[in-house]
Amino acid sequence: MTTSRRDFIKTAGVAAGALSLPQLPAWISNAAAAEEAAAAVVDKNALADVALQTARKLGVTYADIRINRYRTESINTREQQVQNVSRGQNFGFGVRVLYKGTWGFASSRSVTPEDVRRITQQAVDIARANSVYQRKRIAMVPVEKVTANWKSSFEKDPFDVSIDDKIQFLLSLNASAMKTQGVSFVNSSMGWVNEQKFYASTDGSRIEQYIIRANPNFNVTAVNRANGDFQSRSALGGPQGMGYEYIEKHDWKREAQQAGEEAVMKLKAKSVEAGKYDLVLHPSHLWLTIHESVGHPTELDRSLWMEANYAGTSFLTPDKLGKLQFASKIVNFVADRTQPKALATVGYDDEGVPSQRWHLIKNGTFVDWQTTRDLAAAIGQKKSYGCNHSDSWGSISFPRMPNVSLEPGTDNKSLDDLIAGVEKGILIYGDGSYSIDQQRYNFQFGGQVFWEIKNGKRGEMLRDVAYQSRTTDFWNSLDGLGGPSTYELGGSFNDGKGEPGQSNAVSHGCPPARFRQVNVLNTAAKATS
């Protein structure tokens, strides 16, 4: 459900200085009851039996059913005002079948035995029709039968916290940001997702999962009214697989105040001089570089040209596996769906494969892929790494990125230790603009906050900074890593892929890292002919 900003403000009368809110609109207080009424009370196991028995009678070699309920909540504020509060949910099921080596999928929000039978028939009909054109028959690696009930590692369910408390928090965060003279605007938000997933397959598995994810954010803008220049700074603490404890344990108000101070400083920061610099990249920045230049090119479907029409391919072709020196020898990238508090952490994927941790890059060498049961079979691997997911019961499951993270160094270096080894360089915080080619080989990244490094010490603030490189050149230039105590998680709620497009959440952890002699551009410089 949604309401307009004007109507909400008129009804709720919320102000930044208010520490006790008036009675909220009835639709908000009744939302939970409405949600419960909308989610049909069904016997999931009985419905699974209907789907799987129907599929077997129709001659499939494999079938699965997912019966899922998704709950969402979003609150948006600006300065002293509430802009929007929304809650929503959807409930339904999808059936996927493998018939004569061809996938078929169909779904419905009407969850009854009759609809399950009808949708299963439809999925088989689709597979049967597509099998006429299937050039290479699909096979799947085996998986063990599983019966499980899994819950993500949150402490406080955000859907049990009142809207009042959440609004109060966001407005107080805004007030903290506005304390700095020169700050003109601030907006803040928090979003929550609850996935309740049931999976059953002809392999005999029955799995239920309960997953919570958090997406708080803010953006602070300072304006120089004399010349019209404006600069912004967003939250560095990214989304995580946590409950409301993330709001309570992270010092968001202090970060918002710091963001205001830094946004004002950016107005007077000196413009960078283009050239070669050593870079020290904070985890709040580096996670996005990892996502684009490591996470995406190690997706096997990209490398096999299955994503070429939409998302591109990958320079990491099969002939490079085990041979390419992707990065310097101190670099290790792991794919990990077991990592606590990470966004892509689950108990099992949408094919019943248990979550795992494995190396993609080991001691700098490219050693493995992200795989599903059919992709693993396609390249002769004996098992899947559990990378099959969908963003809804109404979407077919397909290969999606796990949490991909850079392991910290073993010598326990701090951020200051990395800076101390730089004579001429730049320290970068926060993710900004990015551009990368369809093979994930040539890229350019901006950031949010830039500091000059001179003779081993942090100096003045800079602006207009972006760096560019080739993926392998960049990662081979890495010569310093922070230790385990410097490791942080970043990530995104909206990693897009597929046609029709799907959006999934994924985390990327890393320590700060140092890179030598990277090409830096001045983004404000005018092009010369």
The per-residue pLDDT for range 470-490, each reduced to its tens digit, is 999 999 999 999 999 999 999
- Asked whether the predicted pLDDT for residue 517 surpasses 70, the reply is yes
- Asked whether the predicted pLDDT for residue 449 surpasses 70, the reply is yes
Higher per-residue pLDDT: 527 or 357:
357
Count other Cβ atoms within 10 Å, centred on residue 166: 20
pTM of the model: 0.92
pLDDT attached to residue 500: 87
φ, ψ for residue 40, nearest 5 deg: -60, 145
- Categorize the per-residue pLDDT at 311 as very low, low, confident or very high, splitting at 50, 70 and 90: confident
8 Å CB contact between 385 and 59? no
What is the residue type of 26? A
Q: Which domains does the chain have, with CATH numbers?
A: 5-268 (3.30.2290.10), 271-522 (no CATH)
d(CA 386, CA 36): 31
The per-residue pLDDT for range 300-309, each reduced to its tens digit, is 999 999 888 7
8 Å CB contact between 324 and 222? no
d(CA 515, CA 260): 29
8 Å CB contact between 516 and 479? yes
pLDDT attached to residue 479: 97
Q: Scanning the structure block, which residue is given the tokens 């998986």? A: 143
Query: 268: Cβ–Cβ under 8 A, 6 or more apart, which residues?
Result: none
- For residue 484, give the DSSP letter: G
- Asked whether the predicted pLDDT for residue 43 surpasses 70, the reply is yes
Q: Residue by residue, what is the 3-state secondary structure of 325-366?
A: ECCCCCCCEEEECCCCCCCCCCCECCCCCECCEEEEEECCEE
d(CA 176, CA 220): 10
- Asked whether the predicted pLDDT for residue 39 surpasses 60, the reply is no
DSSP 147-177: EEEEE-S-SS-GGGS-HHHHHHHHHHHHHHH
SS3 at position 264: helix
* C-alpha closest to that of 288 among 440, 476, 154: 440
